[in-house]
Amino acid sequence: MTRERKLLIAVAAVSAILVVAGALVFLQQQFLQAQNPASFGWFAYQPLANQVFFGPDTVVLSSSAVWGGVVCAVGVVGLAALLGFVLGRRGRRAAAR
């Protein structure tokens, strides 16, 4: 096994681990948030004139959920870059024949 092939396998493994870990953290935080809904804010008869109103469909993500999404996205980008590299190298080899 060549050094380049080992490096490609390592990059694929790390990227896949990042995707899985990020997805697990994100989904865990979403599950915990569903179990313990936020209880902040107040209710009034009329909102203030210059205030922004967020309706009932507003989603508030915790910082852990955001980091999980970022880690998952980095893993997906790594896998996409690896796939592009492998396909590009493969096309170059086929053109040389």
Q: What is the pLDDT of residues 11-52, one digit of tens each?
A: 999 999 999 999 999 999 888 776 766 666 666 566 666 666
Is residue 24 included in any domain, yes or no? yes
Least reliable range by pLDDT among 15-24, 55-64, 80-89: 55-64
Give the DSSP letter of residue 36.
S
- The count of structural domains within the chain is 1
Is residue 3 included in any domain, yes or no? yes
Burial 74-97 (b: 16+ CB within 10 A, else e): ebbebbeebeeeeeeeeeeeeeee
Q: Which domain holds residue 6?
A: 1-34+64-97
What percent of the chain has pLDDT above 70? Answer: 68
pTM for the model: 0.69
Is residue 48 included in any domain, yes or no? no
pLDDT for position 43: 60
Burial 21-39 (b: 16+ CB within 10 A, else e): ebbebbeebeeebeeeeee
